[in-house]
């Protein structure tokens, strides 16, 4: 059975807890613990009848005093909290506060969509390092040392033989070295070039490269795959046009245009009234590239392509300045929440 000292100590603790309670819930918890039917004080009062008279008087007086002191302190605290606006009065008719929702960056969205489109055609994804060796970035791709084609890609050189990769094509050279045909791979990633930053060019950008190597692969397979991709990505009625081009790692090389998806080829500001939009580079993998990676170019042939992600995103969303992608202005990014 509790003694007077214990009751007083309990009261002191309960009063200070009421004093520091910040919510009606906390006050109610204290009330339940001490004053409810099974509460501490109530149970002392209930068991008084079993005590000898002298003890009953003393403990009864202390318990009754504790009960009324705690009751009035709880009442005061409830009034104190009720007068603080907004804490004890919940108005469910007030409009809610929306939490800000994040979104994927438009470049990420476009990269994911490009990859999904090729994955549905059976391409697997491979990735390589951003800090690349001169060998994979150039040499394995048939750029001989001092070849003028190296100037097409203004390179950031790091110490020794290391560069920041200027395209995602070096991943092709790495995969070719490791795997055996048939290979059907896409390679998304960041690229870096020492460019003067302008509305059309940035020193960081993204590409998705792809290639297929097997026996008997021809330019018709390349066209078929790219046609299927374009229909999936830009719409059923898209038309394609191949223009001859040059890349050291493909022979023959081509650049591919699609009919402008905005004006359907009639001519508009997006396609600069040309009716066509240039979207990627491609070609048949140069036999030298296959041989350097240890494959017999007499037995195997392959096609390859490289897509500039920013270019596709700019066309898709009608963005005229590439710098917007990297300035992290939330007003720009917010528009791509879907
Ligand atoms: N790597 C080229 C560039 O950055 C793009 C490219 C063209 C990639 C043709 C390819 C290809 O795989 O076959 O300009």
The more confident residue out of 262 and 68 is: 68
Q: Provide the pLDDT for residue 39.
A: 86
The pLDDT-based confidence of 102 (bands split at 50, 70, 90) is confident
The answer, yes or no, to whether any atom of ligand 1 lies below 6 A from the CB of 143, is no
Chain segment 36-76, per-residue pLDDT in tens: 888 888 888 888 888 888 888 888 888 888 889 888 988 88
**pTM of structure:** 0.72
Ligand 1, from 282, 302, 310: best to mutate by most atoms within 8 Å of Cβ? 282
Query: What does the block give as tokens for 79?
Result: 């009034």
Question: Hey, where are the domains in the chain?
Answer: 4-89, 106-334
Q: Around Cβ 285, how many Cβ atoms within 10 Å?
A: 27
The more confident residue out of 45 and 304 is: 304
Tell me: pLDDT of 235 over 80. yes
- Residue keyed to tokens 């969205």: 109
The more confident residue out of 132 and 79 is: 132
Q: Which of 91-100, 195-204, 248-257, 317-326 has the lowest mean pLDDT?
A: 91-100
Tell me: pLDDT of 88 over 60. no
Measured in Å, residue 328 CA sits from the centre of ligand 1 at 28
Instruction: For 106-334, give the CATH class.
Output: alpha beta
Cα(256)–Cα(43) distance, integer angstroms: 88
Q: Which of 98-107, 123-132, 179-188, 222-231 has the lowest mean pLDDT?
A: 98-107
Strands (E), 54-148: 124-125, 131-133
Tell me: pLDDT of 86 over 60. no
Q: Which of 15-19, 150-154, 302-306, 316-320 has the lowest mean pLDDT?
A: 150-154
| Cβ partners under 8 Å of residue 164, min gap 6 | 130, 131, 132, 155, 156, 158, 192
Tell me: pLDDT of 305 over 90. yes
Tell me: pLDDT of 87 over 70. no
Query: Could you identify the atom of ligand 1 that is nearest to the CA of residue 283?
Result: 13
Mean pLDDT, rounded, for 92-103: 85
Could you tell me which of 78, 66, 68 has the C-alpha nearest to residue 24?
Answer: 78
- What percentage of the chain reaches a pLDDT higher than 70? 97
Q: What is the SS3 assignment for 200?
A: coil
Query: What does the block give as tokens for 322?
Result: 């590439």
Ligand 1, from 171, 172, 247: best to mutate by most atoms within 8 Å of Cβ? 247
* Residue bearing the CA closest to ligand 1, atom 3: 167
Q: Which of 26-30, 85-89, 261-265, 295-299 has the lowest mean pLDDT?
A: 85-89
CA-based torsion, 32, 36, 41, 43: positive or negative = negative
CA-based torsion, 133, 134, 137, 141: positive or negative = negative
Tell me: pLDDT of 178 over 90. yes
Cα(1)–Cα(262) distance, integer angstroms: 88
Measured in Å, residue 207 CA sits from the centre of ligand 1 at 9
Q: Of all helices (H) and strands (E), which one includes residue 243?
A: strand 240-247
């Amino acid at each position: 059975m509790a003694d007077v000292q214990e009751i007083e100590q309990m009261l002191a603790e309960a009063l200070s807890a009421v004093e520091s309670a910040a919510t009606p819930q906390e006050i109610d918890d204290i009330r339940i613990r001490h004053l409810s039917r099974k509460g501490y004080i109530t149970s002392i009062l209930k068991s008084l009848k079993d005590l000898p008279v002298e003890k009953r008087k003393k403990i009864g007086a202390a318990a009754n005093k504790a009960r009324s002191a705690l009751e009035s302190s709880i009442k005061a605290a409830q009034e104190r909290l009720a007068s603080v606006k907004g804490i004890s009065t919940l108005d469910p008719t007030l409009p809610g506060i929306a939490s800000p929702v994040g979104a994927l960056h438009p470049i990420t969205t476009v990269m994911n969509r490009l990859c999904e489109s090729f994955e549905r055609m059976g391409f697997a994804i491979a990735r390589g390092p951003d800090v690349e060796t001169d060998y994979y970035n150039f040499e394995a791709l048939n750029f001989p040392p001092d070849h003028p084609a190296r100037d097409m890609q203004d390179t950031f050189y790091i110490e020794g033989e290391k560069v920041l990769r200027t395209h995602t094509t070096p991943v092709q050279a790495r995969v070719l070295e490791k795997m055996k045909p048939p290979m059907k791979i896409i390679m998304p990633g960041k690229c870096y070039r020492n460019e003067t930053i302008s509305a059309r060019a940035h020193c960081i950008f993204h590409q998705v490269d792809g290639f297929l190597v097997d026996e008997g692969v021809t330019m018709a397979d390349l066209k078929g795959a790219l046609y299927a991709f374009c229909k999936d990505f830009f719409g059923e009625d898209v038309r394609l046009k191949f223009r001859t081009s040059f890349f050291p790692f493909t022979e023959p090389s081509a650049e591919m245009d699609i009919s402008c998806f905005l004006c359907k080829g009639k001519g508009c500001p997006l396609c600069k009234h040309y009716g066509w939009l240039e979207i990627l580079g491609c070609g048949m993998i140069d036999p030298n590239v296959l041989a350097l990676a240890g494959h017999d170019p007499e037995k195997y042939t392959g096609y390859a392509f490289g897509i500039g992600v920013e270019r596709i995103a700019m066309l898709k969303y009608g963005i005229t300045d590439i710098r917007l992608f990297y300035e992290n202005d939330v007003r720009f990014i917010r528009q791509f929440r879907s």
